[in-house]
Amino acid sequence: MTPDINLNVMKENQSLNSLQARFQVKLKEIFLNHQIDLVFVQGDTMSAFCGALSAYYFKIPICHIEAGLRSYHLFDSFPEEALRQMIARIANIHFAPTKLSVQYLQKENLTHKSSIYEVGNTGMRYFL
């Protein structure tokens, strides 16, 4: 696969603040110049969070892949735990890798149960 758009935001020795700012500026431009009906974000990275946040600002539905992973300690792992929890609060559809992840999302009472799907680990694919 070749991406249609490269945000080109990565810099050596960057801070999370500056990375987030660059993401938000680039994503705003993309959302303004393209018809986007649905946004999928995968994981718990700054890019996933910024994609979700931009979609939220533009009132576009968000699907979170790898939803519900939790340590419930905001600095374990940093910043991923905080990012995954923030994404969960604005996502409309949650694709959880495990039954436990589904249970965490249900326990947090963030969404209606019908918007949570257990899909397995999307990062692992086995080929015969």
pLDDT in tens, 9-49: 999 999 999 999 999 999 999 999 999 999 999 999 999 99
110 contacts 86 by C-beta, under 8 angstroms: no
Q: Residue 114's pLDDT is what? A: 80
Domains annotated on the chain, with CATH = 16-118 (3.40.50.2000)
pLDDT of residue 126: 54
Contact yes or no for 69/84 (Cβ under 8 A):
yes
Whole-angstrom Cα Rg for the chain: 15
Beta strands in 1-128 (DSSP E): 39-42, 62-65, 93-96, 116-118
Q: Is the peptide bond before 61 cis (omega within 30 degrees of 0)?
A: no
pTM (whole model) above 0.85: yes
What pLDDT score was predicted for residue 125? Answer: 56
pLDDT confidence bin for 110, thresholds 50/70/90: confident
CA-CA distance, 23 to 65, in Å (whole number)? 19
Question: What local confidence, expressed as pLDDT, does residue 22 receive?
Answer: 97
Which carries the bigger pLDDT value, residue 84 or residue 124? 84
Picking from 61, 64, 50, 52, the residue whose alpha carbon sits closest to that of residue 22 is 50
Whether a cis peptide bond, with omega within 30° of 0, leads into 79 is: yes
